[in-house]
Amino acid sequence: MQAPESAFRLFGKVLSRRRSSKLVITALFLGALCSSSSAQNDGEWISLFNGENLDNWIPKFTGFELGENYRNTFRVEDGYLTVSYDEWPTFNSEFGHLYYDQVFSHYLLRVEYRFIGDQVNDGPGWAFRNNGLMLHSQDPRSMTIDQEFPVSIEAQLLGGNGSTDRQTANVCTPGTHAVFGGELVTRHCTNSISATYHGDQWVTAEFEVRGHQSMVFRANGETVFELEHPQLDPTDPDAQALLAEGAPLMLEAGFITIQAESHPTQFRKIELLPLTP
């Protein structure tokens, strides 16, 4: 299947963060329209990672311009998309995000991931065996240079520490809120009901995303979290900037990103099935 044209390519290759933010929002929703059209006409699985290189992916690190792969963090090793810290002597809040260069709205995202190795020196304690997929993420061109996390709904991936319970497929909300069980929840992170996966085992996670209506998270085939009506947090400065430029309160679409938060992680499969709205 031919994927919809990249939202990045609609307006040329990697634009400076200084370009008009209204243009950024226009790109975001044109991309969403392309994705919705694809869902209606095709409905076939798309491999977002080809196992060979990082084509169609672009990095953004805190403190660095869009496109700079700081310390060669994101790379392909042995056919795996790898978040590596072997070129990092220490960590100083240079959080990274690897963006797939297309906007999606209604889809099923499936990834196979595992945590490996040791956390980089000075990585925060909470980031031990911690990674994530940012869903409905803001356009990276609308991020400030020092912004740590894109406004998004984070599907948090956690690995076990070998002894205590540590759920995966949790939800965190940088610059956003969502409805859980009929209640608008404003706390930053909420745990799922998943099992704990210790060691370096592979885990399959699925995320069923239906625009601004709902998201369902699954770990190894079990439904572990459900939310509704993802939306911008009007009290958050980064979300306020998006709202000021005309972004709607409800999150209907956005980019998909992979995090780099200080612990090595590998992905051997990243695939997406467009769903009919």
Consecutive 10-residue runs of the chain (277 residues): their mean pLDDT?
43 39 43 41 85 98 98 98 98 98 98 98 97 98 98 98 96 98 97 97 98 98 98 98 98 98 98 97
CATH assignment of the domain containing 265: 2.60.120.560
**Tokens representing residue 265 in the block:** 């992680």
Contact in structure between 32 and 253 (CB atoms under 8 Å) = yes
- Distance separating alpha carbons of residues 143 and 35, to the nearest angstrom: 23
Strand partners, 156: 132, 170
Contact in structure between 120 and 24 (CB atoms under 8 Å) = no
Whether residue 15 is contained in a domain is answered as: no
Whether residue 198 is contained in a domain is answered as: yes
Whether residue 192 is contained in a domain is answered as: yes
Q: How far is CA 242 from the centre of its chain?
A: 18
Predicted local distance difference test score (pLDDT) of residue 158: 98
pTM for this one?
0.87
Domain that holds residue 217: 24-274
> How many domains is the chain built from?
1
Whether residue 213 is contained in a domain is answered as: yes
Question: What is the signed CA dihedral for 22, 23, 27, 28, rounded to 10 degrees?
Answer: -20
Predicted local distance difference test score (pLDDT) of residue 110: 98
Whether residue 10 is contained in a domain is answered as: no
Whether residue 257 is contained in a domain is answered as: yes
Whether residue 137 is contained in a domain is answered as: yes
Residues 6+ apart with CB under 8 A from 99: 57, 58, 59, 60, 137, 140, 255, 256, 257
